[in-house]
Amino acid sequence: MDIKGAIFDMDGTLVDSLHFWRVFWSKMGERYLSDPAFVPALEDDKQARTMLFFDVMTLLKEKYRMGDSTEEMLAYGNALLASFYENDVKLKVGARELLELLKRKEIPMCVASATTPEKVEKALCLCGIREYFSFVISCAQVGAGKEKPDVFAAALKKLGTPLENTFVFEDSWVALRSAQKYGFQTVGVFDENNFFQDKIQENATVYLGKDKTFFHLIEEWDK
């Protein structure tokens, strides 16, 4: 692959963190509905994983009648996220090795995430991979979730690499679709907590399915 730039999602792509959502729903349900078994409707669950976090709280308040204040819910949700990223997040298999390979090939890299930059920075530092990335950019900074390509376009502008040779690494089919339509090369990454692997594969230039890790990319690209 003629790769000249790399834009990485974090949650579910670089780090094994999407199981956070199971804990998150339970904690939110327990606090605001006295129901620790709470989970939202499937479509809302899927949508929430690519939304701005404030919009997730708005959804919960309006549709599930949680809390009296979106701002208070956001503060509580952010506290849950902060604890998770500071203490529990772990790298996916082969992630560090792939980053090292791209660094050796002098490929510019960044992280584009729906998570706030502060939490991304903490997670990257905890995992010991912050040094590989030129910068971190978030959906909140560009004012749109990954159903639109805005965050990827902004990342590309800062990287300064050719669109057709810049790869977006994602585990969300919604994000992959918007990146692919914009003109990026895409790498779809399997995560057991994510939905619609068929659509992820459909929108990926390269698909790392259930039995594949980043080591499969390394074998192909380290030539």
Nearest Cα neighbor of 163 from 146, 175, 181 is 181
- Please give the single-letter amino acid code of residue 31: R
Q: What is the pLDDT at residue 95?
A: 96
Instruction: Show me where the domains of the chain are located.
Output: 5-16+90-221, 20-87
Q: What is the pLDDT at residue 61?
A: 94
Q: How far, in Å, CA of 156 to CA of 185, rounded?
A: 12
CATH code assigned to 5-16+90-221: 3.40.50.1000
State pLDDT tens for residues 97-123: 999 999 999 999 999 998 888 888 988
Backbone phi and psi for residue 209, each to the nearest 5 degrees, phi listed first: -75, -165
Residues 6+ apart with CB under 8 A from 75: none
Q: How far, in Å, CA of 100 to CA of 201, rounded?
A: 25
Q: What is the pTM of this model?
A: 0.79
Q: What is the pLDDT at residue 18?
A: 67
Is residue 200 a contact partner of residue 207, using CB atoms and an 8 Å limit?
yes
Q: Could you list the pLDDT tens digit for every one of the 223 residues in the chain?
A: 789 999 999 988 999 866 788 889 999 999 999 999 999 998 898 788 777 888 999 999 999 999 889 999 999 998 988 888 777 788 999 999 999 999 999 999 999 998 888 888 988 998 999 999 999 999 989 999 899 999 999 999 999 999 999 999 999 899 999 999 999 999 999 887 676 888 999 999 999 988 899 999 999 888 7
Residue 188 tokens read as 């779809």
